[in-house]
A and B are shown apart, each in its own frame.
Chain A
Amino acid sequence: MITVEHLSKRYGDVLAVDDLSFTIEDGHVYGFLGPNGAGKSTTLNIMTGCLAATSGEIKIDGHDIYEEEREAKKLIGYLPEIPPLYIDQTPREYLRFVAEAKKIAKDEIEDEIEKVIEETHIEDVADRLIKQLSKGYRQRVGIAQALLGNPSVIILDEPTVGLDPMQIIEIRELISELGRKHTVILSSHILSEIQAICEKVLIIYKGKLVAFDDIENLGKTMGANNVIEIMAETSADKATEIIDKVANITEVNVEDENSRYTSLSVNTDAVDPLVTCRGLFSAFASENVVLLKLNYVQTTLEDIFIELTTAESEAEAAMAEAEELDEDSDDKEEE
């Protein structure tokens, strides 16, 4: 279990991480999501002891990352954004160094290295120089390094950046496999990736935590404003008239109208949007209007993400404006 409390990191005047607090439970795949420059890497670097925090506290299974450095670091395997490889060595030599540095018992080192080589499927390249390996394999060697010593938490910073589509799929499969045995924290700015692998997601934006929940729950809470797409064989006026009779409709937008059909999108605040779908169907049926399409659009992580981050920046803009107004009024008072 990892607890992060009131973590802040300041680079000069820039606040990269702003009062971040969360708890990572054992045994899930966590997604760490945020746009570029949101403070993902900074947070992960601090959590692994590679960077000192300006303030705040991090505990890995109760061990403070600064006070009890050794104990805490033994529990974590970390793959930074750029895999830290000695390119003039072979993966086997490299893994041996990491294993020794992690103080794995001498008689277990061989087995441990073989185990991680097998787990990350790098048997074929284990004795070639790392500088001759492709990016996908280098990434695997990086992951193998993180797995040594069987740490309870594995932290991977953008593990699929710069890989080709096949390699991405392979690495994702590997991460899913790891998720069965370890707690995995994975950062990414690619939403589909998080959606594909992770069970829980933390969204950070400008150094602040804006959401932390199961992917499904996030969909539910954020989906308070669900969208239903309709295509009906009637005029726009008639269609809106019918829709107005249905309960829980908040907004109706006509997307397209022509001689044959009208396309609309309807927003609903119903707890279960499928009930609204049913209501719409009966309403149109009772008026004898043919529905060509009735589609409940499920909120994707992308929508949630955009909603959260724009809400956040709007709030900020509002704050800034309010401050400006304050200043203006102050100025006037002074006059």
Chain B
Amino acid sequence: MQAVLKHELALFYHSLTGYVFGAFLLVFTGLGALIYNINASVANFEYVLAFIQIVFIIIVPILTMRIIADEKRQRTDQLLYSLPISTTDIVIGKFLALMVVFIIPMVFISLYPLIFAMYGQVYLPTSYGSIVAFIFLGLALISIGMFISSLTESQGMAAGICVVAMLFNYYCETLADYVSATAISSLISIIVLMIIIGLIIRFMTKSDILGYGFMAITAIIAIVVYMVKSTALESLLPNVMKELSLFSRFTPFVNGIFDLTAIVYYLSVIAFFLFLTVQSLEKRRYNG
């Protein structure tokens, strides 16, 4: 794990990626601070973070696209598989490396409120609460990016899919308002979703019974629920979309609330996607 961490860090700072990522984040923070804190004379640094969270859409793909996809393309994944380290160690090592690359610019960013405090009244707890939440938000997004990178051999593809995933996540909450909230539309979308999941299971396990069985059973359950109590499905779809949004969970922190459930949510997202990444690498080992 340590070896992987050290090695990944070396690769990040050998190439420009580590620096580009840091520069991007710092430039946008600087701009945000200029607009809100200096020009508008607002003492709350958390507004800057709310303003710059959109840069994750660009910087997360920059950071994560290479991490596993390139390993596959260069066939260096074979080396990793043949070394006496477990797949979990590899994935955690890589994630820690991403975390370090992300936290280094964040250290500089966390100096901002202190600097502002020297020239006026700054309520530091909300600033630092938001910075902590901002880091967790970033890590959750990075874990998604890493999983996407494990799905493909091409960095470009990984970056493309990652941007789409980030954008969807960013606009999820807004989109939720436009999604039909009726019970029937929820039912249809559940069935469509279950068909997709069923096909993925079928594709991954190559078992017809498991894949199609999953589809049939979940579809029947959904239909039964709809028949018995259709109100249960009402506005299910927009609610789920709102719940899924990682960005929207950051808003309470900006408003001065340290929302522990959000932190737990971010941590679960990280754990879930690290687990999926391990599975994705293991699958490659099984199917060659």
Contact = CB atoms under 8 A, between A and B. Distances in A.
Nearest to A54: B286
Nearest to B79: A84
A52 B85 contact: no
A85 B3 contact: no
A50 B84 contact: no
Given A82-B75, A101-B4, A88 B84 contact: no
Nearest to A148: B83
A89 B14 contact: yes
B84 A69 contact: yes
Contact of B86 (A52, A69, A86, A145): A69
A101 B10 contact: no
Given A86-B11, A88-B14, A97-B6, A50 B74 contact: no
B3 A42 contact: no
Nearest to A146: B82
A12 B216 CA distance: 25
A102 B287 CA distance: 25
Interface in A72-99: 73-74, 76, 78, 80, 82, 84-89, 93, 97-98
Interface string B74-91: 111111111111100000
Contacts of A43: none
A279 interface: no
A102 B10 CA distance: 18
B86 A50 contact: no
A97 B79 CA distance: 11
A6 interface: no
Contacts of B11: 86, 88-89
A262 interface: no
A52 to B, nearest CB: 5
A45 B77 CA distance: 12
B229 interface: no
Nearest to B286: A52
Interface string B135-179: 000000000000000000000000000000000000000000000
A103 interface: yes
Given A48-B82, A84-B79, A100-B2, A89 B10 contact: yes
Contact of B78 (A42, A80, A103): A80
Given A50-B78, A85-B76, A89-B10, A73 B288 contact: no
A238 interface: no
A181 interface: no
A102 B84 contact: yes
B82 to A, nearest CB: 4
Nearest to B78: A80
Nearest to A73: B84
A45 B75 contact: no
Contacts of B285: 50-52
Interface in B1-38: 2-4, 6-7, 10-11, 14-15
Contacts of B84: 69-71, 73-74, 101-103
A86 B74 contact: yes
A128 B168 CA distance: 43
Contacts of A35: none
Nearest to A41: B288
B82 A76 contact: yes
Interface string A9-27: 0010000000000000000
Interface in B210-242: none
A49 interface: yes
Contacts of B86: 69-70
A93 B80 CA distance: 16
A33 B79 CA distance: 23
Interface in A167-213: none
A143 B81 CA distance: 16
A42 B288 contact: yes
A186 to B, nearest CB: 16
Contacts of A89: 10-11, 14
Nearest to B90: A101
A73 B7 contact: no
Given A101-B85, A102-B83, A45 B288 contact: yes
25 contacts: A45-B78, A48-B81, A49-B82, A50-B81, A50-B82, A51-B286, A52-B286, A69-B84, A71-B84, A74-B84, A80-B79, A84-B74, A84-B76, A85-B74, A86-B11, A86-B76, A88-B11, A89-B11, A89-B14, A97-B6, A98-B83, A100-B7, A101-B80, A101-B83, A103-B84
What are the nearest 9 A-B pairs in CB distance? Answer: A100-B3, A84-B79, A73-B84, A101-B3, A50-B81, A84-B76, A97-B7, A78-B82, A70-B84
Interface of A: 11, 42, 45, 48-52, 69-71, 73-74, 76, 78, 80, 82, 84-89, 93, 97-98, 100-103, 145
